[in-house]
Structure 1
Amino acid sequence: MAPAPRRLVLVESSPQDMPFASGSPSAQPLAQAWLQLLDAAQESVHIASYYWSLTGSDIGVQDPSSQPGEALLQKLQQTLDRNVSLAVATSHPTLARNSTDLKMLAARGAQVRYVPMGHLTRGVLHSKFWVVDGRHVYLGSANMDWRSLTQVKELGAVISNCSRLARDLEKTFQTYWVLGAPKAVLPKHWPHNFSSHINHFQPLRAHFDGVPTTAYFSVRGTPRPTWSPAPPWTALQPPQRLLCPQGDSRGASALARLWPGGREIPAVPGGGPSSRDRWPGRCLGGLQTLCQVGSRAPAQDWGGWGSASSSVPLPLCGEGRKKVAGHAPQQMPFPQGLALQPGLSRDLVSGQGCGPRRGVALSRCEALPGTGDPAFSGKSGPAPPPTSPGSTCPAGSQTLEGGCTEGSQVLEPGVQNRGSALRDLSPKQASPPQLCPHGRTRDLDALLMVMREARQFIYASVMDYFPTTRFSHPARYWPVLDNALREVAFDRHVQVRLLVSCGLNTDPRMRPYLQSLQAFSNPAANISVDVKVFIVPVGNHSNIPFSRVNHSKFMVTEKAAYIGTSNWSEDYFSSTSGVGLVVSQRPPGAGPGVSTVQQQLRQLFERDWSSRYAVGLDRQAQDCTWKG
């Protein structure tokens, strides 16, 4: 019998008494999608959720709108009665302190683990996804809360009959499961069975409903703060405990693709260059120096390090050789047994033979794990965990899809950091261990890469938007996403639209940041940046706390759709755990009546944007109260 076709369906929930115009596009109701997943379950249901609150009594509210949540809880009990295993990973301590949902399910045979993220990373488990039978997946903004079905606006996606993606997301669930075990500690290196081969550079390629599709999951990694220019060749810090071992297919192959004609790359002070679109988005295996190969690009082409002396590219070949990090080029250490990517040669490493070939020069190569790196060895499969202090970044640094951390410093991928746009972190602000095993694309990297690849528009809908931290004291400036939006609008004239939630519990400190972004728009210069707030009418639902809000977290461009679980502030990309889904579908593969996921998500965004619930900043009431 032919296998069932793969499907990807957008799902949403709309608050009661918030109708859209007749004929408006819509997605499948979330409550219906969850019940269908449970009906389809034959062996297992694994759920990662921030908290559980599926009944009105959990929050002391008697309201008819809690019925879908209570029906879902009953369906979960019935699923257990069919001998389908149920495993739940949830954050500890929980927000829903009076909820009895999980105790009730555990009494029926469910396995529950409470993950102490506060103890492990000083954050929370903020993921919201299901994996059913190792074949079906739900991922989106909705918590296991009855209000997410009837009182809060949510958006997500259901993937059906795709075992490769489901098994890949299952590995993320298993990381939470391990950390929820009694006396769990952060592993120095995740075992290989937690590794992934599906990421931004190697996405799943398949047909969904006959449409050619690429897809991958991103996960929350190390925090991505900005830092001030560090002195060149900062001293390496003591090794840190890693929750994220080295990623796969690091920079050599990416460099070969991005610089086919040969370019000069800046020296890497304290971890790596920030060269806008030219940075390949890989940890370059402890690179502290990259070598010019073939033709030389002008220094100003790279921007990046302001007036610091390290902003000048350091040619390591021919007459331009310079001493770097205490090594003359011909003296740079090179590990024994490291097989070079085709096109690289020891001549380049030694600073000789600078013909029109592709290549990189490496220093501090003793940090590389040998031939285990597929990008250098040409072999497939994950690299074995290095022995101490081995890491694919220098000792004491951590691997990132966009670079390496150096102690508490983190390289921002794809964002040009000018002058004081970089700064150091104090010890108490240092990066917590990473939350993504081998081969994963970090969530922030995924967002930035989707932005960077846009050429026509970027439409984003998020609950909160802060170019700062929100939950640390004192707050820290964190303009990574804000700068990325401004950059694509200015440099490539991409149309940017940002739709942000505005409700009774919205932090009023967000408003000036939205006004600042809106003020960046300049139609005369073909810079289009528009910001609106989305206000859900409270109506006669004022008795329900923490509801009547747009909780969606998604972004769409003409090339890709991103559906995530995080608000846009630094905290959600540092100490919390979360997951994102990046999908791209090719229009030529879509037959009559079939639209790509980008087109579907764009239609939902434009419905919200043009609705009477979305208002400009000049019309916004300070208290976010719906005026009708």
Structure 2
Amino acid sequence: MPASSRLLAGHELASPYKSLHDSYVSSRRDSKCPVSALLAAAALLVLGILLAIAVIERLKYEDRINEALNPHHTPSCCNQTGPDQQSSIVLVESFPLGVDYGRNVSAGVDLYEAWKDLLSLASDRIEVASFYWCLTGEDISVNSSSDALGREILEELKALPSRNVSVRVVTSIPTLAPNSTDLKTLREHGVQIRRVNFGRLTKGILHSKFWIVDGKHVYIGSANMDWRALTQVKELGVVVYNSSALAADLQKIFQSYWVTGRSNASIPHPWPSDYDTDINEERPLLLNLSGVESKAYITASPPDFCPDSRTRDLDAILSAIRGAQDFIHVAVMEFYPASKTFHHHGYWPVIEDALKRSAVDRNVSVCLLVSCGRESDPAVWPFIRSLDALHSPSDNINIAVRVFVIPARNQSHIPYSRINHNKYMVTDKVAYVGTSNWSSDYFNTTAGVGLVLSQDASGSSFHQQLRAVFDRDWSSRYSHPLADLHRTHDCAFSTSAP
């Protein structure tokens, strides 16, 4: 090993963040004893030269790290999208086969079409975070023609490296698909893959679901890389085009997963400054989205993966609830004010209390739409029933809870399907699209992200579109009061519900 490399190795080891550097540097150093004053002077001269070389190389190395974290860095003095960019935002959705709202209803762009569009735009690189990968039916021993769209997405992802598009993927340990054939196939075609052991790191999982394309387009939403997300599960997300500042910010979260996906990696305390953000609740990104002046920031969980400058996912949700003056509409697959894991079992009423206080203290109208399907946990019903029981219009307390039930019909052989997997909230002030269910574990031990958006509530804005989607679902034939749940035969836990 050259002397310059040895000196750099020693400098690396002195850093408390060595585990975050995405390259291995040997820690071996040799030493030689001077035999005379002349040799000692010569050695000092050579050492000085080599030290200078090491410092220069170190600076270059740090520049490469910074470039990886901020491929399109936005100066901290100018926290907005550049004037040459025409940023736009699109609400995306998918619906299980057979779900029909009738005519003239609000709906987002089809999720499959949005993913296809992002893949076609990619010319340099794509980063994807997903809890698990299951884009073909074989992985779950299901033979269904409804996996065709998932297969198409997989084929396009496989082809990207041959187009000189770099693809990096992070996924979770533990996972719902430990033997994913998708990941094996992608790796064979040149895709870089890391499995992040959140079970060891935080006793949680990596539950984030997002894409970053060419450092300027992003997708965040409820959909995993799963064929069922395209044809068998109701999903909702958001695509933002041409915002390099937002993409660079999300890139920092992806990179935190990537570096902790190495063998025996540990979580730094604190995170190095490269992972800090200038975009948060106190200082949101100012940008024009599809012609609407907007403020946006990205949230993250769990706390261990959040530098001090990053707004935590839970804090953003609570802030949105407390800031609402008129209404709070929440659609989430599961609302459970407790923790389910063995390590953190217990009551956790943080979000529930915030909703109650908004309704009771400030007369804010609260509507909560939760999913009910074959895999739904019956333990949630007592909590949901107690929240719904507070509804008292005569006392000006307006809290209403409904369940969203998607009939299984002839698709009952497909596990973890026919559910409303949405995870979003819209108030009179903000729109929030996330990747987490609303229970303790998702905010304290599990990795997730969210996009918080403030816009002018008038006109055709994303905020208005999200509100219209909630109203559509709330008043649809798939939405039921708790009292009617026992008559909805396709919800497997109807006998356990109120």
- TM range, normalised to the smaller chain? 0.7 to 0.9
| Aligned twin of 2:172 | 91
Mapped partners of 2:99, 2:292: distance in 1: 33
| Aligned twin of 1:549 | 419
- Offset of residue 11 of structure 1: 0.3
- TM-score of the superposed pair, with normalisation by structure 1: 0.64
Mapped partners of 2:200, 2:376: distance in 1: 27
Question: Are 1:619 and 2:489 matched, yes or no?
Answer: no
1:16-74: CA deviations, max 9, x gaps? 11111211110001011011001001100000110000001111111111000000000
Q: Percent identity?
A: 49
For residue 467 of structure 2, the aligned residue among 591, 602, 627 is 602
How many residues in Structure 1 have an aligned counterpart in Structure 2? 411
- Offset of residue 626 of structure 1: 5.5
| Aligned twin of 1:581 | 451
Mapped partners of 2:89, 2:405: distance in 1: 29
Mapped partners of 2:356, 2:489: distance in 1: 26
- Offset of residue 474 of structure 1: 7.6
Counterpart of 2:178 in 1: which secondary structure?
Answer: coil
Distance 1:622 1:481, change over 3 A: farther
| Aligned twin of 1:114 | 195
Superposed counterparts of 1:520-531, under 5 Å: 520-531=390-401
Counterpart of 1:620 in 2: which secondary structure?
Answer: helix
- Offset of residue 104 of structure 1: 0.8
Question: Are 1:171 and 2:230 matched, yes or no?
Answer: no
Stretches (4+) displaced over 6 A: none
1:256-289: CA deviations, max 9, x gaps? xxxxxxxxxxxxxxxxxxxxxxxxxxxxxxxxxx
- Matched residue type, 2:115: W
Mapped partners of 2:268, 2:491: distance in 1: 49
| Aligned twin of 2:430 | 560
Mapped partners of 1:557, 1:537: distance in 2: 29
| Aligned twin of 1:298 | none
For residue 72 of structure 1, the aligned residue among 144, 150, 153 is 153
RMSD of the TM alignment (CA)? 1.6
Mapped partners of 1:57, 1:616: distance in 2: 37
Mapped partners of 2:91, 2:344: distance in 1: 39
- Write 1 or 2 for the structure with the bigger share of strand: 2
- Matched residue type, 1:178: V
- Matched residue type, 2:483: D
Mapped partners of 1:97, 1:219: distance in 2: 25
- Matched residue type, 1:38: L
The question of whether the paired residues in 1 share the 8 Å contact of 2:302 and 2:442 is answered with no
The question of whether the paired residues in 2 share the 8 Å contact of 1:49 and 1:125 is answered with yes
Mapped partners of 1:562, 1:599: distance in 2: 12
1:469-497: CA deviations, max 9, x gaps? 12236831110110000000011111100
The question of whether the paired residues in 2 share the 8 Å contact of 1:77 and 1:108 is answered with yes
Structure 1 stretches of 5 or more lacking a match? 223-433
Question: Are 1:159 and 2:29 matched, yes or no?
Answer: no
The question of whether the paired residues in 2 share the 8 Å contact of 1:454 and 1:559 is answered with yes
Select between 38-47 and 183-192 the one with higher mean Cα deviation: 183-192
Distance 1:206 1:473, change over 3 A: closer
Mapped partners of 2:115, 2:440: distance in 1: 31
The question of whether the paired residues in 2 share the 8 Å contact of 1:217 and 1:581 is answered with yes
Mapped partners of 1:579, 1:472: distance in 2: 24
Question: Are 1:506 and 2:371 matched, yes or no?
Answer: no
Mapped partners of 2:113, 2:250: distance in 1: 22
Superposed counterparts of 1:135-150, under 5 Å: 135-150=216-231
- Write 1 or 2 for the structure with the bigger share of helix: 2
- Offset of residue 193 of structure 1: 1.0
1:118-156: CA deviations, max 9, x gaps? 001111001000011110000000000000110000100
| Aligned twin of 1:454 | 324
| Aligned twin of 2:334 | 464
The question of whether the paired residues in 2 share the 8 Å contact of 1:218 and 1:581 is answered with yes
Mapped partners of 1:26, 1:116: distance in 2: 37
1:499-558: CA deviations, max 9, x gaps? 000001111111111111011111111110000000011000011111010010000011
Question: Are 1:102 and 2:179 matched, yes or no?
Answer: no
The question of whether the paired residues in 2 share the 8 Å contact of 1:46 and 1:88 is answered with yes
The question of whether the paired residues in 1 share the 8 Å contact of 2:430 and 2:454 is answered with yes
Mapped partners of 2:452, 2:325: distance in 1: 17
| Aligned twin of 2:107 | 26
1:565-605: CA deviations, max 9, x gaps? 111111111110110110011146x5xxxx12221001000
Mapped partners of 1:463, 1:66: distance in 2: 22
The question of whether the paired residues in 2 share the 8 Å contact of 1:459 and 1:498 is answered with yes
